[in-house]
Structure 1
Amino acid sequence: MRAFFEGIQTLFVDFLFKPLDWLRALELSNWWLANIFSWIAILICAYYTVYWCQELKKHQDNNEENQDTTAHSFLS
């Protein structure tokens, strides 16, 4: 049983976390390059948040959204 858990440890530490170790080492030499992935993820999330809000506004303007509190059976 111990070998099984050591195998899981080896999988994560030696293989799956290698890109994160690379980013941690890169941060010491270039902060901007190390954090570019975070900034890209933030920009993508911000874009889709704005997109989702615009879609909700479209549905609300067309009166397609049922805002009655009994719209779902578990609310009544």
Structure 2
Amino acid sequence: MKAFFNGIASLFVDFLFIPLDFLRSLELTSWFIANFINWIFMAICAAAMIYWILQLRDHKAKNEEYQDTTAHSFFK
């Protein structure tokens, strides 16, 4: 059983973390390039937020928003 867990540790440390080790060593020379993955995630989140806001504005302009406060029985 110990060999199984050592195999899993070897898989992650020796193979799957190689790109992250590269980014960690790259941070000493260029912080912006080392955090490129973070910049991509921030751009995706910003695009999703802009899309969501535009959709909300579109629904409000078409009066499709349902704002009845008696939608639930406990509001009566």
Task: Give your verdict on TM over 0.5.
Answer: yes
Identity %: 58
Per-residue CA distance 1:26-68 (angstroms, 9 max, x = gap)? 0012222212232222122112211111112211222223233
- Greater shift, 6-15 or 18-27, is seen at 6-15
Distance 2:28 2:56 in 1: 43
What residue number does 1:9 align with? 9
What residue number does 1:35 align with? 35
What residue number does 2:62 align with? 62
- Could you tell me which runs of 5 or more consecutive residues in structure 2 were left unpaired when the two chains were aligned: none
- Could you tell me which runs of 5 or more consecutive residues in structure 1 were left unpaired when the two chains were aligned: none
Q: Which has the higher helix share?
A: 1
TM score, norm. by length of structure 1: 0.75
Instruction: Please tell me whether Structure 1 or Structure 2 has the larger radius of gyration of its CA atoms.
Output: 2
Aligned pair count? 73
TM score, norm. by length of structure 2: 0.75
RMSD: 1.9
